[in-house]
Structure 1
């Protein structure tokens, strides 16, 4: 029997103590080995691309790519929102300087919100490429899913070209080691996007419902790229026959996450629907801005408070909100309205005013549902009579049909590049309601973190 002395120490013979020490050492070694085993255990929820050896694993990688794709549309604070903030769709009612400086068109290169948005766009490309490689090797019959991966990749490339400055780097995150991106002009990025979307179309040639959905989605995205590259006739041809009722959507749920356009706008009130007059007293004129809030347009219902009862996140701004989206509302990544608007612009460019006006009035006569809103029929438009006024009317109509779906900033840049407008008569101008004046930014900068890339020395230029 082991006895304890008055100090609580064991009086067991020493030879037994030596055996205990050895046992203790063996126990420590066993624990270390067990810990190593725990640390090395495979997480069944994570599938590395290099470990994709089954058809099921390839599909899982593709599903992960789709989740990342959702993050650059409505599942996260994306350039759909920040592009609209830099343009005229939204105004800031946030406490965050990142939002304020974007709305003021004076964006700093180290803007942390844009850093996250840029990373997610890059990740869509990387993860789509990983999924394409896995699917082609292990599920070559999943042609519609492969097409969707090309859609995700091409869409991200199109959004980069539409929203960011010239000189945006595009690398290869799947190379070993990863290859640093080489800066590309916006037009070079649009060409890259066109190639991705064209590749997708070669897979989206089946007659099943998913293949048809992907074919239409790719054609709409590809036509948007064609517009950006100045191929108006080609854009119109691409979307011919796409039904107006068609929509490719990203969806949301309690498990998959909520609609961030709703979350940032209506729920958190960090974004206020943009208008041509600002300030709580509604006395600060914003030149060039479409009066999204005060237009009382059927496509965009807006609640505009006249007191501080609905203050923004900043506690000061009387926030203008819209019920266009709910917590779990799906967002249209591409739809038939996009197709009709592309056809209308192609007709306008070709000088076919009758067709251009007819397309717009057909949409106004039977408006499709927009988010949670089913607009009532609207009065027919009349020809304003001049080319310049027709262009203005076309892009105004498009702005309401596509509100906060990631198109407005790119369209404003196109108005300058392709239609002879100037920055001064296109982007918001004048006194900003949070102080100072609007700056000169017309796109988002590639952020400071990218300067770790030895090929990147900053935006080539900040031109439209």
Structure 2
């Protein structure tokens, strides 16, 4: 009994000591784990972190990221606008792409819905960043100007691409939230003009970023002036803007790729547009610029003659361009845009000499376009008539600005400002995937917006 109790006490003593040592060891391990795992995650931004200057910069960076999705960093209206126009043809399996190319867009088109939301988001996030910069970093004037550029650009693109009756709140930060009232495209262009005019008041420094913002905002504001028919203001705004300047959106493997490359050359969901369609190239598309078959040095295109380069649909011989690579930066705005505005103003002022000189200066020394450095081109000759000059101008502009979100707006302006008709501007005839081209000349505001009690559908689908 005695020996047993002694043995028992000894056994208990050894066990208690082991447990205590184990507890100490576990505590030390836990403390080590806490040190290793308790680091700050730089990717997580909590609401309180935004209430300071670097938080304002974080909001601005987020805005620029969203801004990128409405240009070359997403399947944006840059691409769908070009599909509805004549820059691209569908080689996709998606009915949303096919019906857009056929100019018969349904109100349930989910792709258009996503593009519309990204335009709204860019505008809202710019508003948020502007308020934060005002409060926490008021000396960041060039950054403030860039936020107004993002806001004005989104408003301009909405008006360029969508129907009359766009629902848009005057203040997307209102509390409680506003249901946007419907506005005509002219009213949305006026919103863009106001945003860009305010941005110019902040882009008045002499540092490189301020100068870049000043030039960028002036060119975008001039595009808005053209859309509103104010040619004199447009010409004044771009005076002195150098041809070699550009404001770009960049890409990386850790953020996003260039979607113009991704949807075109890589996935082959989009085929470069042409005036003849079908694998046998025997279906004539009236009014379409022959982007693929023109063999223009500004837009080199591979035209397959067999199924070796099938589109995503597995059937269409997809016409591809090497203009962009996966990480090729995309010009959101550049000096060529300024020259195109000057040329159109000269055209409107009945000055064919100046009009031709602007175009031929560019053709003689073409700037680089994406991955392409075009060779010099022969000079244009005067077509001799106003109608011929208008045709020449918009064709030249179409090659200089290919798939950068301008073609659809220009085609609408040809009807609105130059007296053309839909039947003489937009693609007509038999569509190579069946049926005939429809009558759409813009993108509709889609069905989900019907949740807004102020939205009653597009006011009209006129250009």
TM-score by length of 1: 0.90
> Of 31, 41, 58, which residue of structure 2 is paired with 1:60?
58
> Of 156, 159, 163, which residue of structure 1 is paired with 2:157?
159
> Of 144, 147, 159, which residue of structure 2 is paired with 1:146?
144
Secondary structure of the corresponding residue to residue 252 of structure 2: coil
CA distance in structure 2 between the partners assigned to 1:47 and 1:422 by the alignment: 52
For each residue in 1:19-43, what CA deviation from the matched residue of structure 2 results, as whole angstroms up to 9, or x when unmatched? xxxxxxxxxxxxxxxxxxxxxxx98
CA distance in structure 1 between the partners assigned to 2:379 and 2:46 by the alignment: 55
**1:11 aligned residue:** none
Secondary structure of the corresponding residue to residue 180 of structure 2: strand
**1:253 aligned residue:** 252
**2:316 aligned residue:** 317
Is the 1:262–1:327 Cα contact (8 Å) retained in structure 2? Answer: yes
Distance change >3 Å, CA 189–CA 240, structure 1 → 2: same
**2:122 aligned residue:** 124
Secondary structure of the corresponding residue to residue 216 of structure 1: helix
After TM superposition, the runs of 4+ consecutive aligned structure 1 residues lying more than 4 A away are 48-51
**1:85 aligned residue:** 83
**2:24 aligned residue:** none
Is the 2:441–2:462 Cα contact (8 Å) retained in structure 1? Answer: yes
**1:344 aligned residue:** 343
Offset at residue 51 of structure 1 (A): 5.5
For each residue in 1:346-387, what CA deviation from the matched residue of structure 2 results, as whole angstroms up to 9, or x when unmatched? 010011110000000000000000000000000000000000
TM-score by length of 2: 0.90
Secondary structure of the corresponding residue to residue 459 of structure 1: coil
The number of residues matched between the two structures is: 424
Listed as ranges, the matches of 1:11-160 within 5 Å are 45-47=43-45, 52-160=50-158
Offset at residue 52 of structure 1 (A): 2.3
**2:182 aligned residue:** 183
CA distance in structure 1 between the partners assigned to 2:341 and 2:303 by the alignment: 32
Is the 2:127–2:172 Cα contact (8 Å) retained in structure 1? Answer: no
For each residue in 1:435-462, what CA deviation from the matched residue of structure 2 results, as whole angstroms up to 9, or x when unmatched? 0000000000001010000000100000
CA distance in structure 1 between the partners assigned to 2:250 and 2:398 by the alignment: 22
Is the 1:87–1:408 Cα contact (8 Å) retained in structure 2? Answer: yes
CA distance in structure 1 between the partners assigned to 2:382 and 2:47 by the alignment: 55
CA distance in structure 1 between the partners assigned to 2:46 and 2:443 by the alignment: 32
Secondary structure of the corresponding residue to residue 332 of structure 1: strand
Unpaired runs of 5+ residues, structure 1, are 1-41
Secondary structure of the corresponding residue to residue 89 of structure 2: strand
CA distance in structure 2 between the partners assigned to 1:274 and 1:228 by the alignment: 24
For each residue in 1:402-458, what CA deviation from the matched residue of structure 2 results, as whole angstroms up to 9, or x when unmatched? 000000000000000000000000000000000000000000000101000000010
Is the 2:289–2:395 Cα contact (8 Å) retained in structure 1? Answer: yes
CA distance in structure 1 between the partners assigned to 2:45 and 2:198 by the alignment: 26
Unpaired runs of 5+ residues, structure 2, are 1-39
Offset at residue 45 of structure 1 (A): 3.4
CA distance in structure 2 between the partners assigned to 1:342 and 1:462 by the alignment: 26
Offset at residue 49 of structure 1 (A): 6.3
CA distance in structure 1 between the partners assigned to 2:48 and 2:413 by the alignment: 41
CA distance in structure 1 between the partners assigned to 2:206 and 2:47 by the alignment: 30
Worse-matched range after superposition: 169-178 or 449-458: 169-178
CA distance in structure 2 between the partners assigned to 1:131 and 1:296 by the alignment: 44
CA distance in structure 1 between the partners assigned to 2:323 and 2:76 by the alignment: 18
Listed as ranges, the matches of 1:163-242 within 5 Å are 163-171=161-169, 172-242=171-241
Secondary structure of the corresponding residue to residue 272 of structure 1: strand
Q: CA RMSD in A?
A: 1.2
CA distance in structure 2 between the partners assigned to 1:71 and 1:46 by the alignment: 21
**2:326 aligned residue:** 327
CA distance in structure 1 between the partners assigned to 2:197 and 2:431 by the alignment: 43
**2:269 aligned residue:** 270
**2:25 aligned residue:** none
Offset at residue 44 of structure 1 (A): 5.9
CA distance in structure 1 between the partners assigned to 2:47 and 2:371 by the alignment: 38
